[in-house]
Amino acid sequence: MSNTQVVTLRMPKELKRRLDREAKYQGVSINQLANYLVNIQLTHLESVSLLESRLEKKSIRSLKRKVKRTIDNVPERNVPSWDSVNE
């Protein structure tokens, strides 16, 4: 039994044209490109949702303290001028 499912997706003609053009440019099928793009975007949204759910349980003050402690633990070192941050 296949682990795929057929989904009918309605999209504006212009978006379909762009998808078709890019799939041809990439040398893949529209299906492959659409699956890749949906997967990438869904992964991004899931990551953002996870971060938001974790952050909503934290206070800004607590997060700032943790960041400060982390920065304070970074050892001092000589930084070449080309790699320094000018404020």
- pLDDT value at residue 38: 97
CA gap 19, 33 in Å, rounded = 8
pLDDT digits (tens, 9 = 90+) for 35-52: 999 999 999 999 999 999
Residues of the domain holding 20 = 13-73
Residue 87 has pLDDT above 70, yes or no: no
Residue 1 has pLDDT above 70, yes or no: no
Total of domains in the chain = 1
CA angle (10 as vertex; 15, 29 as ends), nearest 5:
60
Contact indicator for 20, 30 with CB cutoff of 8 Å = yes
**Could you tell me the pTM of the whole model?**
0.64
Helix and strand totals (H; E) in the chain: 3, 0
- Whether residue 3 is contained in a domain is answered as no
- pLDDT value at residue 66: 92
Higher per-residue pLDDT: 67 or 77 = 67
| Mean pLDDT rounded to a whole number for the chain | 92
Could you count the other beta carbons within 10 Å of the beta carbon of residue 57? 6
